[in-house]
Amino acid sequence: MNFRNKYVLAIDQGTTSSRAILFSHQGNIITLAQKTFQQYFPKPGWVEHDPNEIWYTQSSAIKEAMAKADVTDMHIACIGIANQRETTIIWDRETGFPVYNAIVWQDRRTADYCEELKTKGYASLIQQKTGLVIDAYFSATKIRWILDHVKGVRERAERGELCFGTVDSWLVWKLTRGNEFITDITNASRTMLFNIHTQEWDKELLDLFQIPASMMPEVKSSSEVYCETSTPIFKTGIPVSGMAGDQQAALFGQLCTDIGMIKTTYGTGCFMILNTGSKPVLSKNNLLTTIAWKLDGKVTYALEGSVFVGGAVVQWLRDELGLIQSAAITEQLANSVPDNGGVYFVPALTGLGAPYWDQYARGVIIGITRGTSTAHLTRAALEGICYQVYDVLMAMENDIHAKPKEIRVDGGAIANNFLMQFQADICRCPVVRPRVLETTALGAAYLAGLAIGYWKDVDELKEQWSLDNIFSAEMHEETAETLLTEWHKAVGRSLNWAAD
């Protein structure tokens, strides 16, 4: 097939915005378009999106990206999708209308139900089957909540009238006008309903959560031709041929294809994933065992640590407190003071993820004095991101009994040199920033392109990866240890704060 003058369209549907990026055969960005959408917070700890707004912004971003590059359907070889994971949408199979807003991965409304499941002794069963801990983070309890709390929905689900999907499923449904109801194996592995060993929806878990099997999408690999588009956005059908949850897509985009390679994405949250190869490693340190991708019939597994609030803490400083005007100024502010002034910020704004998994933790800013400035608070917020990543890294090292050679990083926040240097200082490990920062979208593009032969194989992709900068530890080790001791004292103050 001749792919001359053709591009791969990557859909990168995230927690706060929908983006579309066109990539060339060399893995370079041709054009990018981004549309933000509204966040809904109906009650404390609740986070929702409008599924129709997700689709509207995503379709608008696609149109804008194509217009910017002055390309038509004929210039697009295929489409890859990366998406915010765990976010739960249920819609009518006939009309395509959502029965309720999307319940976002950050949402904590099912925390009490999760505690009840733990009390009843289901934690081991769920970890053995799914690789996950019991937490409101994942899709299963969100589905159950909608079935139990939205009038008439359970009855409709039991009649086979409704579809459940994570955002990838919703986008494919919309791209094909309801002709395809699918998900990929990485997104399935984040629902707490998918058996990562048999690679099937688990009947015992579906029964436990009282979820009809008819609601569940067909599970596909991460790289294959699933379907062709049939939407007014495109005049002709374009193959949709790659799909992965955003963090797995970033792992692939960073070409962490060998066992032991590790990446951290700094987005709304922070997500560290370690490639463990063909065998799942069940964590003894509160990490998640997940599926990295399924490619050429082979499943690759990973260990993951999820930090719920990463870059979102900077958004919070800007939008809720009004302390800063933009994220870009945080590097300058952090560097304007010699240290954090004794201030520590635990950004447990939606509880704490790995390795604490405390649904009742809440945000803490501690060590404030009369001399505390906006610069100190900003620096403490950035440092708090890095400390959380350190805690995940330590859990990972304890699980695999080895220290990684490097941490590859991606996501919007990695342009902040202060953040990257402090991360290297605290972790005592080289932090490697690639030239192409959009590795989530790039991973989706790679998975899609491989399926149609746009790229020959992974070895060809490895030739494209290039370095921007390496950050090595410069801080005295004793200083780093002192900072970490104070950080863990601050974390102790935040734990279990909101429990009854």
Binding-site residue positions: 15-17, 19, 85-86, 137, 246-247, 268, 311, 315, 412, 416
Q: Which amino acid is at 483?
A: L
* Neighbouring C-beta atoms of residue 75, cutoff 10 Å: 15
Which parts are annotated binding residues for ATP? 15-17, 268, 311, 315, 412
* Neighbouring C-beta atoms of residue 17, cutoff 10 Å: 16
| Cα separation, 161 vs 60, whole angstroms | 29
| Cα separation, 107 vs 375, whole angstroms | 30
Q: How far is CA 352 from CA 29, 388, 498, in A?
A: 35, 9, 12
Classified as helix, coil or strand, 353 is coil
| Cα separation, 272 vs 312, whole angstroms | 16
Q: How far is CA 31 from CA 7, 40, 155, 255, 292, in A?
A: 10, 30, 46, 22, 27
Report the run of H or E that residue 78 belongs to, with start and end. Answer: strand 76-83
E-state strands within 424-490: 431-434, 467-471
| Dihedral pair phi/psi, residue 315, rounded to 5° | -55, -40
Which parts are annotated binding residues for sn-glycerol 3-phosphate? 15, 85-86, 137, 246
Q: Where are the alpha helices (DSSP H) in 278-402?
A: 312-319, 330-335, 374-400
Classified as helix, coil or strand, 121 is coil
Classified as helix, coil or strand, 376 is helix
Partners of 36 in the β-ladder: 17
Using an 8 Å Cβ cutoff, are 126 and 147 in contact? no
| Cα separation, 235 vs 173, whole angstroms | 17
**Residues 6 or more apart in contact with residue 321 via CB below 8 angstroms:** none
Which parts are annotated binding residues for ADP? 15, 19, 268, 311, 412, 416
Which parts are annotated binding residues for glycerol? 85-86, 137, 246-247
Closest by CA to 85, choosing from 433, 298, 407, 353, is 353
Which residue's structure tokens are 């990543």?
389
CA angle 453, 457, 458 (to 5 degrees): 140
Classified as helix, coil or strand, 187 is helix
